[in-house]
């Protein structure tokens, strides 16, 4: 009975001393001894935030020396800025004094991320605690980073809205912290994690510069900075404000408890449910240890003799939901389930959930301390992973329990121990390491949602090569050249194994082979690496190319660089239909991939302009998406991992093949939309999904105002359209004059749901006074608006405005914003306006940019003749974040070998 032992064990004084010393091994001094903060800095901090908001006493050091992990290190002072400006001033002061600083929300980090490992300053963000704006029509909210997840939910709920990520710590975890860790939660199975729901960030960069990374309008030009910052665990910048996507809360919820006599059967049911094309909102699993602990502390009706239970919840439109629940019941029962209970009302649902929510608590009563491990494996490997966790815990004589996000393959083994017993602490750490290793060997990763921080820093070497770690260090250097922001986290120290490091490789390349021709098509990664190295040697510029559809996309491409084609890398590398994951070469076209997937009734839900000819690499590098993004997201939301050849000719892997992965910096998102400027993408791993059973377009025509009104209502309703667009109702899509418009709303999914949704949509358009047309079914692969994109693609000039959703209609009716005689497509669902014209005057482009900018959006020149591009800035109105992008480019591509002109710069 290790649990009882753990409680009853008593410790000698010497053991206690030993533990105390271990706790402070990182920094043997607390404040007052060797203090990094000198009188000058302290005075400056007092000036900036006010004396009462600087804490520098011994007690302060003690209570800011920990977070919710086992990591401990005392800071020298804690400072609480009131706003972005003060935060920047504090950072500037610390930088000048060369003192490390660490951002901290409410200190619930589970990997030591908020602990001041090298001492210095803790920047407490608890005063940044205001919800600044809730904009239901724009589907976004603006909050300060010290607002807790639950506070935001409570602000949104009365308006029938919610913010999807719901980490278990949502009561106390701040949204800034959620961003740092890229938090998930039970509902991320259906809705995705934090990075799928953050639209923009206000960030104080190391050094004190303030930049906006994104905002309510999608796709700002250049690199996806917010994507890189999310999950960076407070090592790249301090987030002070967030723009978050908010959604209408679902119309109905059905919660079920599936009871099993064997936890393998429970794990199999999880895969089977997902494989059937159902996307439950949650799929949570608890094992017998946890079930009994819960029933012992606060009974909620779980059968005490069960080996495992699943909490399965489906949510969404009422129509079709019961059918989904029935299907789930059937799948569970045919996978060895004892019984499936359905919550009859809200009270029963709360009771079922109270056990899950109280699970950590129930376990916590069994022993003084517990370690929550956090690893992810492919869903189908869950039975193996659980068996290995049990074996490891037993080997280290540790009691354990499992309560976890089964649908995501995200394990949370809880290991019980007593933190006062050094020997037990050692065993727990060993077991934690072995669990990580086991999950990595099963194709998983070392952290699904709790981060690397300080506790998993050495485990980074389990999953990344020395070159890959070097690349990550380089990225960090681009943000923080002085290594003062949260040092000693995420990236393990460079042990020299990768050679001279990225920056040092500028010295020269010893590569064989002739000079490069105009166009190259490597057939494998080794050849691609060789080409890049030769390009570095010869000072040649490479332009990665897939299908070639973006060749003339808004960049000045003279002198013509050498084209590096991905079309030689066109094989499907791995397809795991049960886990809904596919890995393929970057030269694979969407059409070819689609054929492979169709054999299993699956698809990659992207329908970018350009259609099936687009390659996966090109699609990703350009970050393209069509209007169905409203429902399915973009490549950035669907990519699990990718591989590329870096600017120094090294193969680099980013991400992996599991749906939740927060190990290291999110290079996958950095590469997505980087337009071939940071590397040559060779392979991509996507999450795919079941092909929708039915696709229907509701179409209606009438004035633009009525179309816009219907679109606005649709977007704020409980309906779940896949896309909402409008085009002028004539063949060439010309918007001039008093022309009628056509509104198109697509619905995709199970037939019963789609039918009811389409009916609901028709009611809305009818009420607004539009003429409803006969219903039209379409193919999932092609979508309902391919023809319009074809027409726009052919125009010599193509411009795009990305706008907050609530600013789209105003932009169109402005009358001055759109170029005359333009063919127009208005994407209400994604806040985009595409326009193609035969000609574009300077003034028209300038107006387009200005109006976009004024509406808190941005304009991009997607296509124009070279002469025009030479004289204009294709990336619209300049932004301060462009400087940072250029630093990233300079560090990661030190020889400037990849497409230098495609990084936004002030002309």
Question: Alpha-carbon torsion 353, 355, 361, 367, what sign?
Answer: negative
Question: What is the closest distance, in whole angstroms, from the C-beta atom of residue 160 to another protein in the complex?
Answer: 18
Question: What is the closest distance, in whole angstroms, from the C-beta atom of residue 418 to another protein in the complex?
Answer: 7
Task: Tell me if 88 sits within 8 A of 42, measured CB to CB.
Answer: no
Question: What is the closest distance, in whole angstroms, from the C-beta atom of residue 174 to another protein in the complex?
Answer: 10
Nearer to another protein by Cβ, of 271 and 289: the residue is 289
Residue 307 to residues 133, 336, 769, Cα–Cα distance (Å) = 46, 12, 57
Question: What is the closest distance, in whole angstroms, from the C-beta atom of residue 492 to another protein in the complex?
Answer: 25
Nearer to another protein by Cβ, of 19 and 797: the residue is 19
Question: What is the closest distance, in whole angstroms, from the C-beta atom of residue 8 to another protein in the complex?
Answer: 9
Question: What is the closest distance, in whole angstroms, from the C-beta atom of residue 433 to another protein in the complex?
Answer: 20
Q: Which two tokens stand for residue 460?
A: 């980074």
Alpha carbon distance 173, 23 (integer Å): 24
Binding residues (CB under 8 A) for another protein: these are 7, 16-17, 19-20, 24, 30, 55, 57-60, 62-68, 80, 106-108, 124, 126-127, 129, 146, 148, 150, 169, 171-172, 358, 360-365, 368-370, 418-420
Q: Which two tokens stand for residue 806?
A: 């609530």
Question: What is the closest distance, in whole angstroms, from the C-beta atom of residue 664 to another protein in the complex?
Answer: 25
Alpha carbon distance 274, 284 (integer Å): 13
Alpha carbon distance 529, 74 (integer Å): 45
Residue 256 exposed, middle or buried by CB count within 10 Å (0-12, 13-18, 19+) = buried
Q: What is the 3-state secondary structure (H, E, C) of 578-609?
A: HHCEEEEECCCEHHHHHHHHHCCCEECCCCCC
Question: What is the closest distance, in whole angstroms, from the C-beta atom of residue 239 to another protein in the complex?
Answer: 17
Nearer to another protein by Cβ, of 67 and 89: the residue is 67
- Position of tokens 């002469």? 867
Residue 519 exposed, middle or buried by CB count within 10 Å (0-12, 13-18, 19+) = exposed
Nearer to another protein by Cβ, of 80 and 404: the residue is 80
Nearer to another protein by Cβ, of 66 and 882: the residue is 66
Query: Of 328, 316, 357, which Cα lies nearest the Cα of 166?
Result: 357
Q: Which two tokens stand for residue 674?
A: 């980087």
Question: What is the closest distance, in whole angstroms, from the C-beta atom of residue 294 to another protein in the complex?
Answer: 12
Please state the length of the chain.
Answer: 907
Question: What is the closest distance, in whole angstroms, from the C-beta atom of residue 491 to another protein in the complex?
Answer: 25
**Residue 648, φ and ψ in degrees, nearest 5:** -110, 15
Nearer to another protein by Cβ, of 60 and 224: the residue is 60
Question: What is the closest distance, in whole angstroms, from the C-beta atom of residue 233 to another protein in the complex?
Answer: 17
Nearer to another protein by Cβ, of 155 and 883: the residue is 155
Nearer to another protein by Cβ, of 148 and 672: the residue is 148
Nearer to another protein by Cβ, of 107 and 904: the residue is 107
Cβ count within 10 A of residue 504: 11
Nearer to another protein by Cβ, of 367 and 844: the residue is 367
Cβ count within 10 A of residue 347: 8
Residue 870 exposed, middle or buried by CB count within 10 Å (0-12, 13-18, 19+) = exposed
Nearer to another protein by Cβ, of 55 and 447: the residue is 55
Please count the CA atoms within 13 angstroms of the CA of 610 that sit on its side-chain side. Answer: 21
| Ramachandran region, residue 633 (left: φ > 0; alpha: ψ -120 to 50; beta: rest) | left
Alpha carbon distance 507, 401 (integer Å): 53
């Amino acid at each position: 009975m290790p649990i009882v032992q753990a409680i009853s064990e008593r410790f000698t004084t010497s053991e206690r001393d030993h533990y105390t010393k271990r706790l402070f091994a990182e920094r043997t001094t607390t404040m007052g001894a060797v203090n990094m903060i000198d009188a000058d800095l302290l005075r400056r901090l007092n000036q900036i935030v006010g004396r009462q908001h600087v804490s520098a006493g011994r007690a302060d050091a003690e209570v800011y020396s920990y977070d919710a992990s086992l990591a401990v290190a005392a800071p020298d002072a804690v400072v609480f800025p009131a706003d972005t400006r003060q935060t920047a001033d504090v950072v500037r002061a610390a930088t000048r004094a060369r003192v490390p600083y660490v951002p901290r929300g409410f200190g619930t980090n589970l990997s030591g991320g908020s602990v001041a490992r090298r001492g210095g300053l803790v920047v407490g963000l608890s005063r940044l605690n205001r919800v600044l704006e809730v904009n239901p029509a724009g589907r976004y909210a603006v909050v300060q980073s010290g607002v807790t997840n639950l506070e935001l939910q409570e602000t949104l709920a009365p308006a029938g809205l919610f913010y999807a990520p719901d980490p278990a710590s949502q009561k106390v975890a701040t949204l800034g912290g959620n961003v740092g860790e890229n938090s998930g939660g039970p509902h991320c199975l259906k809705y995705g994690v934090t990075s799928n729901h953050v639209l923009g960030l206000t960030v104080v960069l190391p050094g004190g510069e303030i930049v906006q990374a994104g905002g309510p309008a999608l796709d700002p030009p250049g690199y996806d900075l917010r994507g890189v910052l999310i999950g960076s665990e407070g090592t790249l910048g301090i987030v002070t404000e967030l723009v978050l996507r908010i959604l209408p809360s679902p119309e109905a919820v059905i919660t079920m408890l599936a009871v099993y006599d064997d936890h393998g059967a429970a794990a199999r049911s999880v895969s089977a449910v997902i494989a059937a094309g159902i996307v439950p909102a949650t799929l949570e699993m608890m094992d017998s240890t946890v079930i009994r602990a819960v029933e012992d502390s606060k009974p909620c009706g779980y059968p005490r003799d069960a080996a495992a239970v699943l909490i399965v919840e489906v949510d969404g439109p009422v129509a079709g939901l019961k059918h989904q629940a029935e299907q789930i019941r059937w799948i569970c029962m045919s996978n060895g389930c004892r019984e499936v209970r359905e919550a009859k009302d809200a009270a029963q649902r709360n009771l079922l959930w109270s056990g899950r929510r109280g699970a950590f608590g129930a376990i916590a009563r069994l022993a003084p301390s517990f370690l929550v491990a956090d690893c992810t494996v492919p869903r189908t490997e869950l039975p193996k992973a659980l068996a290995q966790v049990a074996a490891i815990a037993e080997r280290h004589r540790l009691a354990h329990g499992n309560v976890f996000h089964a649908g995501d393959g995200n394990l949370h083994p809880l290991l019980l121990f007593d933190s006062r017993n050094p020997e037990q602490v050692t065993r727990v750490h060993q077991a934690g390491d072995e669990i990580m290793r086991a999950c990595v060997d099963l194709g998983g990763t070392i952290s699904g949602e709790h981060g690397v921080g300080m506790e998993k820093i050495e485990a980074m070497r389990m999953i990344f090569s020395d070159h890959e770690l070097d690349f990550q260090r380089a990225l960090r250097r681009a943000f923080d050249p002085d290594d003062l922001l949260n040092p000693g986290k995420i990236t393990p120290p460079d042990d020299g194994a990768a050679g001279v490091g990225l920056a040092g490789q500028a010295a020269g390349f010893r590569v064989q082979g002739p000079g490069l021709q105009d166009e190259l098509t490597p057939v494998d990664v080794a050849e691609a690496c060789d080409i890049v190295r030769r390009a570095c040697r010869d000072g040649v510029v490479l332009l990665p190319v897939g299908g070639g559809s973006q060749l003339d996309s808004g960049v000045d491409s003279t002198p013509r660089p050498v084209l590096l084609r991905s079309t030689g890398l066109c094989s499907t590398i791995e397809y795991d239909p049960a886990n809904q994951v596919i890995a393929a070469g970057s030269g694979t076209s969407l059409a070819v991939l689609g054929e492979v997937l169709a054999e299993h009734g699956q698809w990659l839900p992207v329908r970018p302009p350009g259609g099936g000819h687009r390659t996966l690499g090109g699609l990703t590098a350009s970050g393209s998406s069509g209007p169905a993004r409203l429902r399915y997201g973009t490549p950035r939301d669907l990519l699990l991992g990718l591989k590329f050849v870096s600017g120094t000719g090294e193969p680099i892997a980013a991400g992996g093949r599991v749906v939740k992965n927060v190990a290291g910096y999110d290079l996958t998102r950095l590469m997505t939309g980087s337009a071939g400027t940071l590397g040559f993408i060779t392979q991509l791993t996507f999450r795919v999904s079941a092909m929708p059973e039915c696709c229907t377009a509701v179409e209606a025509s009438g004035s633009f105002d009525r179309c816009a009104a219907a679109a606005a209502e649709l977007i704020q309703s409980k309906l779940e359209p896949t896309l909402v667009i409008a085009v002028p109702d004539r063949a060439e899509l010309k918007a001039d004059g008093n022309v009628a418009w056509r509104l198109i709303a697509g619905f995709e999914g199970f037939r019963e749901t789609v039918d009811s949704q389409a009916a609901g949509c028709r009611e809305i358009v009818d009420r607004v006074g539009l003429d409803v047309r006969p219903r039209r079914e379409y193919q999932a692969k092609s979508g309902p608006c391919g023809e319009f994109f074809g027409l726009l693609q052919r125009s010599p000039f193509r411009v795009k405005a990305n706008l907050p959703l609530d600013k789209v209609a105003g932009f169109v009716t402005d009358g001055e914003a759109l170029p005359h005689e333009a063919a127009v497509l208005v994407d209400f669902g994604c806040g985009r306006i595409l326009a193609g014209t035969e000609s574009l005057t300077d003034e028209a482009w300038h107006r387009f940019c200005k109006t976009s900018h004024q509406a808190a959006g941005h304009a991009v020149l997607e296509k124009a003749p070279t002469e025009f591009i030479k004289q204009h800035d294709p990336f619209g109105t300049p932004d301060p974040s462009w400087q940072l992008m250029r630093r990233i480019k300079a560090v990661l591509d030190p020889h400037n070998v990849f497409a230098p002109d495609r990084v936004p710069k002030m002309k």
